[in-house]
Amino acid sequence: MATILVLAEQHGGKLTRATLSAVTAARQLAQIVGGGFDIALAGTGLDAVAAALTPYGAGAVHQLEHEALAGYTAQAYAQAFASAAKATGAQYVVAAATSNGKDTTPRVAARLGAGMASDVVALSAHGGGVAYKRPMWAGNVLGHVKINTAVQVVTVRPTEFPVAEASGGASPIQKSAASVDAGSLRMKYVGLDKVESSRPELTDASVVISGGRGLKEASNFKLVEKLADTLGGAVGASRAVVDAGWVPNDWQVGQTGKVVAPKLYVAVGISGAIQHLAGMKGSKTIVAINKDAEAPIFQVADYGLVSDLFGVMPELTEKLASRKG
Amino acid sequence: MKILVTAKRVTDPDSKIQLKPDRSGINLDNVDFKMNPFCEIAVEAALQLVDAAGDGETVVVAIGDSDATKEIRTAMAMGCDRGILVEADEAQLDSDAVARVLAAICVKEKPDVVLLGKQAIDGDSNQVGQLLAEYLGWPQATFAYKIALNGTSGATVQREVDGGVETISLSFPAVITTDLRLNEPRYASLPGIMKAKKKPLEETTASALGVDLSLKVESIGFEPPPARKAGVKVKTVDELIEKLAGEAKVI
Ligand SMILES: Cc1cc2nc3c(=O)[nH]c(=O)nc-3n(C[C@H](O)[C@H](O)[C@H](O)COP(=O)(O)OP(=O)(O)OC[C@H]3O[C@@H](n4cnc5c(N)ncnc54)[C@H](O)[C@@H]3O)c2cc1C
Ligand SMILES: Nc1ncnc2c1ncn2[C@@H]1O[C@H](COP(=O)(O)O)[C@@H](O)[C@H]1O
């Protein structure tokens, strides 16, 4: 009987979809090592989120509340999650590799004396245990690692584990005070300057249109946004244009930004540096629009249009809009 | 204010990394090495924080083979005051071992702030700063985008997170990891490079620091990523739309 604990992520009482990718990874892990999984949820005012987590087949949903968890901080959340892992006797701890997941999970591992594999893309059986596959060197190499400690901690890349479907049933909710030593905390959440958008989340969208330096200046980025809106897609960007301040930081796609895997990815005026490819080459269909026929983006594009984007983008957007009627 | 900052030696981000034909490891022929770009940003941040604080010291640490001396000298040429090289075989390190080595150095050096990169661009683990903070029981600000000192006792840090920019405040001693937009690292000047040659560089080992290097995470093999075949070039917008609707069925 192996016990697996999924660390759920919520923001202001809303569950993240990435949590359901972690649930899928936990189900796969249970197939390999046997046993089942529990889910731990930390924060305040969690009744609704806990209820939302009950139909996924978890042995229990541990609802851990504490006023010190009202605003997210890695220090407090790591304490709450690590205590839950100890209390449940978890041998495997799984979280999604989101910005919060990346921030807290190593601290959980440290508290558990556990080895940790980050950003895992596949799990397999290995000598009675588990081998974890993970991208390294901007995805130019896939490494296989094993973890030598009794407790093993992983974050999983959401694009590689589909969102779990509800499996019916109702997991019991176990509500308790989170174990947090408030006196030990020396960090405080101040606030989130949120990028408001009516578009789908970049990491969940089935269509992503990304723009790069080829757009020349910030005001031209609307060519990318218009196409995205016509297709109901999300907007992404290369590092170059994020650094230039044309678009918000969290639109960056790549090795050190977001990883996306939509059905359709359109790269507009993006050269295709390895760091950018690392974040999008898992997309189903890739389109590149670039005036340089030698641009590396064409090496991964299913359809390449060697052309000036300023001519092509308005035409493409208009024709797609009229197709939709 | 005293700052400890890291300078990991990594493969040049612009080199094309490939597996050896027998898949036993990375083919390092014709690959250049340099300081991890996120560490360059950390070094710049360390120098700016000491400037902002009015005075202080910056100590740069690298864990790796003796070639990593080059990255330590580069950081000293940028302005760090002294260096520590912890000699270790790169193949015998995981993020946890690096974090425990750094924790042992922090116990000795007692910095107010440790600045690291958010990730090393070779292993892409994104763990060391967080592990270090927990081992020390310190607060952390990962993915730092802006750092503003609150006197000498703490800082308010803006962080790049999913959905926007988060602000947190923390009190020192603390760990901060850098994101891309924190600053633009300075280049080492010629006088800086000359001065760096004379700055003190201490060499030590994990065992001298009392750190056991047994691996918690161990590599058991590599594979190349799935190949994506280059597709076709289309000539017109109409042809593109036809392909997307007909062949790819994505619109
Ligand atoms: C540590 C590190 C981390 C990084 N992380 C990331 C990351 O996560 N994501 C990321 O994207 N990058 C990342 N980068 C940066 C990456 O190396 C590239 O510099 C960046 O992706 C380039 O952005 P770009 O393609 O927009 O710009 P460029 O490389 O300048 O390409 C612009 C393209 O536009 C084309 N173009 C110009 N005018 C037109 C026109 N009128 N019509 C059509 N095409 C046109 C050009 O032919 C060119 O191919 C990272 C780099 C480092 C060192
Ligand atoms: N061998 C090393 N020497 C010095 N610093 C390191 C080393 N390995 C990792 N680091 C630091 O830890 C950060 C995160 O590394 P990682 O968790 O391995 O991605 C890097 O950006 C460096 O700042």
Is residue B61 a part of any domain in this protein?
A: yes
Is the pLDDT at A2 greater than 80? The verdict is no
DSSP letter (8 states) at residue A89: T
ipTM: 0.98
Rounded Cα gap, residues B145 and B157, in angstroms: 7
Is residue B231 a part of any domain in this protein?
A: no
**Per-state percent for chain B, helix, strand, coil, to nearest 5:** 30, 30, 40
Atom of ligand 2 nearest to the CA of B116: 23
Helix, strand, or coil (residue A72): coil
Phi, psi for B86 (deg, rounded to 5): -100, 105
Decide if A222 touches B, using CB distance below 8 A: no
Domains A3-184 and A207-324 share a fold: yes
Mutant choice from B14, B138, B159, B166 vs A, greatest count of A C-beta within 10 A? B166
From A84, A122, A81, A121, select the one nearest A100 (Cα to Cα). Answer: A81
- Please check whether residue A155 is in contact with residue A120, taking contact to mean a CB–CB distance below 8 angstroms: yes
Full-model pTM: 0.98
pLDDT digits (tens, 9 = 90+) for A264-319: 999 999 999 999 999 999 999 999 999 999 999 999 999 999 999 999 999 999 99
Residue A92 is predicted with a pLDDT of 98
Would you list the domain boundaries of chain A? 3-184, 207-324
C-alpha distance from A210 to closest chain B C-alpha (Å): 16
| Ligand 1 in reach of B13 Cβ (< 6 A) | yes
Pocket of ligand 2 (CB under 6 A): B 6, 8, 36, 38-39, 42, 61-64, 93, 95, 98, 116-117, 119-120, 123, 125-129
Q: Within its chain, how far is the Cα of A316 from the centroid?
A: 30
Whole-number Å distance, alpha carbon A269 to ligand 1 midpoint, is 8
Among A residues 102-141, those touching chain B with beta carbons less than 8 Å apart: 102-107, 109-111, 114-119, 126, 131, 133-141
Residue A1 is predicted with a pLDDT of 52
Q: Which domain holds residue B15?
A: 2-226
Phi, psi for B92 (deg, rounded to 5): -105, 25
- Please check whether residue A296 is in contact with residue A288, taking contact to mean a CB–CB distance below 8 angstroms: no
Residue B90 is predicted with a pLDDT of 84
The reply to whether residue A231 touches residue B251, judged by beta carbons under 8 angstroms, is yes
Tens of each residue's pLDDT in chain B, 251 residues: 999 999 999 999 999 899 999 999 999 999 999 999 999 999 999 999 999 999 999 999 999 999 999 999 999 999 999 999 999 998 889 999 999 999 999 999 999 999 999 999 999 999 999 999 999 999 999 999 999 999 999 999 999 999 999 999 999 999 999 999 999 999 999 999 999 999 999 999 999 999 999 999 999 999 999 988 889 999 999 999 999 999 999 99
Kindly report the CATH class assigned to A3-184: alpha beta
Is residue B250 a part of any domain in this protein?
A: no
Decide if A70 touches B, using CB distance below 8 A: no
Atom of ligand 2 nearest to the CA of B127: 17
Residue A285 is predicted with a pLDDT of 98
Average pLDDT (A157-166) is 97
Mutant choice from B14, B22, B161 vs A, greatest count of A C-beta within 10 A? B161
C-alpha distance from B70 to closest chain A C-alpha (Å): 21
The CATH number of whichever domain residue B208 belongs to comes to 3.40.50.620
The fold adopted by the segment(s) A207-324 is Rossmann fold (3.40.50)
DSSP letter (8 states) at residue A200: P
Rounded Cα gap, residues B125 and A191, in angstroms: 27
Proximal ligand: closest to the CA of A223 = 1
Instruction: Using CB atoms, pick whichever of A263, A299, A306 lies closest to residue B230.
Output: A299
Proximal ligand: closest to the CA of B125 = 2
Whole-number Å distance, alpha carbon B94 to ligand 1 midpoint, is 31
Is residue B148 a part of any domain in this protein?
A: yes
Residue B92 is predicted with a pLDDT of 85
The reply to whether residue B232 touches residue A304, judged by beta carbons under 8 angstroms, is yes
Is residue B237 a part of any domain in this protein?
A: no
Average pLDDT (A109-132) is 97
Total domains present in chain B:
1
Rounded Cα gap, residues A120 and A130, in angstroms: 12
Instruction: Dump the DSSP string for A34-59.
Output: -SEEEEEEEESS-HHHHHHTGGG--S
Instruction: Give the CA dihedral A318, A322, A324, A325, nearest 10 degrees.
Output: 140
- Longest C-alpha distance within chain B, in Å? 68
Average pLDDT (A167-195) is 96
- Please check whether residue B174 is in contact with residue A186, taking contact to mean a CB–CB distance below 8 angstroms: yes
- Please check whether residue B39 is in contact with residue B7, taking contact to mean a CB–CB distance below 8 angstroms: yes
Residue B63 is predicted with a pLDDT of 98
Which residue, judged by its Cα, is nearest atom 30 of ligand 1?
A213
Residue type, B147: I
Band of the pLDDT at A231, cuts 50, 70, 90? very high
* H or E element, residue B164: strand B164-171
Q: Residue A162 region, left (φ>0) first, then alpha (ψ -120 to 50), else beta?
A: beta
Residue A241 is predicted with a pLDDT of 98
Band of the pLDDT at A74, cuts 50, 70, 90? very high
B106 to chain A: which residues are within 8 Å by CB?
Answer: none
The interaxial angle of helices A99-112 and A74-88, nearest 10 deg, is 50
The reply to whether residue B168 touches residue A135, judged by beta carbons under 8 angstroms, is no
